[in-house]
Structure 1
Amino acid sequence: MGKDGISELPDDLILQILSSLPTKNVIATSGLSKRWRFLWKLVPKLEFNSEINPRTAENVGRSLLLHKAPVLESLHLTVTDLCDDIDVELWAGIAFARNVREFVLEVSLSFFSMPVQFPSSLFFCDTLETLKLKFSVLVDVPSRVCMKSLRILHLFHVSYKDGESIRNLISGCPNLEDFLIHGGACKVVLNLVIEAPSLKRLWIHGQIGGRKTMINAPCLEYLKMKGFSYGQCCLIENAPALVKATISDVSYIVNENISGSLKSAKCLSLNLSPLECPTGAIFYQLVYLQMYTREAEWWNLLMFMLDISPKLQVLKLIDHVKYPS
């Protein structure tokens, strides 16, 4: 009987195919033949997404230790049912040794469980380019870190020990280009400070428990802000390269710093009450303006924007409850 078509393919192509399959299926191929017995160990992408728990944690650790690829392009872990911090630290340490480039950690625990602490071993990983943390993960960064290759950082409903932890994490990523911070919990955050000299894309969804967000990003090109409640404000201290900004679901932003920083934008989407703009502000670059007409005094804001936007070419008014994403 002849060989099957897949087995006749070169190893590089087979590894590429295996990279698109769930890791548990990839490991199962080791029983096909002698050639396949070790081939799965060279797959550069691993994803354990079947809800790792105390019963399966040992198998995950064993699989990572057996992995032999010189570069681990990505490792995705979905953790549940009270996995220990030590397990996550071990897995991250192995990924660090494999020169991991993308690390995604999603932890879903019961409401009363303590969050899993983010593994400190990755704070000094030179190869890490993408880091995404979701849900019951505690970000505790007592001092500055060094992740010089990190370009994408997404924090989705995680917990923070304090405001300094966020600041230390961001400051340790000198080449950060894409930053998303979506909700989260922290009782002691007074101010959220984002100082990122190379940041190009920023999405802030919801405040983290403080009253002020300060942004210093001279290379920022795309900004999305959503979900600031009454009494919270945002200071954009330095964003001269801004091209597109979307501001939505904001009940109170009265600050000339943010409106002044938006002046360089070519495209604006606004779903908010009038900004308090600095005297003489002119939006010389603005050519596209989208406005939602559900907020109070939206007409006054529209008239104001028309008066100070001499190059405006496109105006889009939206009158429904669907907010910009």
Structure 2
Amino acid sequence: MRMEPKSKLVATASFGEGRGGCIVNESKKDRLSNLPDEIVHHILSSSLKTPILDIEDLTMFSCVSKRCRQLVLSNPTLCFDGFQRTRISTCSKRSKLMNSFDRLLACRGDCKLQVFDVSWNSHYSWTTPCFCEDNKFRVFTWIYNVLVRYKVETLHVFIEHGLLDDDHILPAFPSYIFHCDSLRSLKVDVNCMIQAPSFAFSSNLRSLVLTSVTIVDEEFFKWISCCCKFIEDLCLDSVYGPNNVTIESSSLELFHFKCAANGRICHLHISGEKLKEIAVDWSFNPYRKISFGILAPNLKRYRWTGNLINHPNLGNLVSLEEAEIRLKPKLDGWDNVLEILCRLRGVKVFLLTEEVTKTSGFNMRHWKLQDPALFNQLKEFTIELWGEPNGIELARYILEHAQNLEKMVIVHLPQHSHVKRELSKSKTISNAKLFFSTYT
């Protein structure tokens, strides 16, 4: 069902104007009356990215009728988000909003709550972001209450500018959240420290997304490996962490990792027999000792962005189908590039940036000296060309020798129109469809 914009939704609810609140137009049947409860719940809910109604709107809607009030209170998705800046510009205005939300929680009774999304933007006291102790206490009290009382399955916590206290020290994220038996999905986007929960508690988490957090030590990753027996998705986005990140999971299917700028992480090792997708975005000081290892025999999709690592241990990628390589190798790093290409020889869909190929210095004659089976399984190939001849030579070689190639996409700069002319000559040898696209 298509979502109505906020102004249209208010109109369909037949809101009247007046100091007393909302007036129901009894002479006209509004469109919400004939809809099942679950459809109205969907309309009232947030998409968890772009909230449709904030607390004030929900309060107004609940005044339309008894059914509207019950629909608001029984909605299994509850979002504290989407406030205009003027409504949260001072601590006193924020307290009023929080009081309204306290009353909403108190009136819900035992109605089931599955999703709780709380988003809070710090306001500024002069030039310093302010997240008052009272606000901080109340937000985490809500979280504790909904976890204990309603057994929430999905929890998203976003706090802009973080939780810095008066001494500008990052506080610890409450560990009781990780101990909740009902929780299946947890997203945390808060500038805070995360310590390893107690190993005495197992977790039922299926999905864990941590953004802009500081992980104190390696024990947290040991906790994931030992206590999260059902976890399927793990995303570490712009995280600060210890030197070593090692995760071994028998249930993990998707792993995304992005190291924070100037992060301390030097060693990343991930293993799991059910892993199907891995995405790594890792830029680091090239003079540091770095190690990277993957043990994922059933991996299907692999995306690698950042610095090239010398002799990465990629394991046996016999099931790999799609690969995207956006690395920045050193000028003398072709041997490592070729080693990676050999590991990816069975891939069917491949994207490669010219930053990878320009280190080779290879022309067509050199490419022909490589293993002829290197690109035999390739069906779709995309390469980004910035005018360097090395990338053009590789594209020509693949176009002429990849026996199963069905499609090739060439992305180039507008001023490099010669790329199309040069590769069109090789097109006469191949049965693959050739597409050209320019950077915008």
Q: Same fold (TM over 0.5)?
A: yes
- Shorter-chain TM-score category? 0.7 to 0.9
User: Is residue 108 of structure 2 the alignment partner of residue 67 of structure 1?
Assistant: yes
Deviation of the 1:59 alpha carbon: 3.7
User: Is residue 118 of structure 2 the alignment partner of residue 77 of structure 1?
Assistant: yes
User: Is residue 230 of structure 2 the alignment partner of residue 204 of structure 1?
Assistant: no
Residue in 1 that maps onto 2:302: 245
User: 5+ unaligned residues in a row in structure 1: which ranges?
Assistant: none
**Aligned match for 1:173, one of 228, 238, 248:** 228
Identity of aligned residues (%): 20
**How has the CA–CA distance of structure 1 residues 165 and 9 changed in structure 2, closer, same or farther, with 3 Å as cutoff?**
same
User: Is the deviation greater in 97-106 or in 156-165?
Assistant: 156-165
The aligned runs of 1:19-38 (5 Å cut-off) are: 19-20=45-46, 21-24=52-55, 25-38=57-70
User: 5+ unaligned residues in a row in structure 2: which ranges?
Assistant: 1-25, 47-51, 123-129, 388-410, 412-440
| Partner SS, residue 65 of structure 2 | coil
TM-score normalized by the length of structure 1: 0.82
Letter in 1 for 2:114: E
Letter in 2 for 1:292: T
Q: Which has the larger radius of gyration?
A: 2
Deviation of the 1:277 alpha carbon: 7.4
Deviations 1:236-292 (A, max 9, x none): 342000111111222x3123412x34453122222223437779x665632232211
User: Is residue 277 of structure 2 the alignment partner of residue 222 of structure 1?
Assistant: yes
**Aligned match for 1:109, one of 142, 147, 161:** 161
For the residues of structure 1 that align with 2:78 and 2:219, how far apart are their CA atoms?
32
| Partner SS, residue 239 of structure 2 | coil
Aligned-residue CA RMSD (Å): 3.3
**How has the CA–CA distance of structure 1 residues 101 and 254 changed in structure 2, closer, same or farther, with 3 Å as cutoff?**
same
Residue in 2 that maps onto 1:87: 138
The aligned runs of 1:14-53 (5 Å cut-off) are: 14-20=40-46, 21-24=52-55, 25-50=57-82
Count of aligned pairs between the two proteins: 316
Q: Could you say which structure has the greater relative contact order, defined with CA pairs below 8 angstroms and 6 or more residues apart?
A: 1
**How has the CA–CA distance of structure 1 residues 286 and 139 changed in structure 2, closer, same or farther, with 3 Å as cutoff?**
same
User: Is residue 191 of structure 2 the alignment partner of residue 136 of structure 1?
Assistant: yes
Deviations 1:62-119 (A, max 9, x none): 4333323643221111123314453333112222121212111111237964445323
Q: Which has the higher helix share?
A: 2
For the residues of structure 2 that align with 1:282 and 1:111, how far apart are their CA atoms?
44
User: Is the deviation greater in 34-43 or in 302-311?
Assistant: 302-311
Letter in 2 for 1:165: F
Deviation of the 1:314 alpha carbon: 3.2
Deviation of the 1:235 alpha carbon: 3.3
User: Is the deviation greater in 228-237 or in 132-141?
Assistant: 228-237
For the residues of structure 2 that align with 1:118 and 1:265, how far apart are their CA atoms?
37
- Whether the aligned pair in 2 keeps the contact of 1:282 and 1:308 (CA below 8 Å) is no
Q: Which has the higher strand share?
A: 1
For the residues of structure 1 that align with 2:156 and 2:311, how far apart are their CA atoms?
36
Deviation of the 1:126 alpha carbon: 2.2
**How has the CA–CA distance of structure 1 residues 308 and 141 changed in structure 2, closer, same or farther, with 3 Å as cutoff?**
same
For the residues of structure 1 that align with 2:231 and 2:244, how far apart are their CA atoms?
20
For the residues of structure 2 that align with 1:153 and 1:141, how far apart are their CA atoms?
14
TM-score normalized by the length of structure 2: 0.63
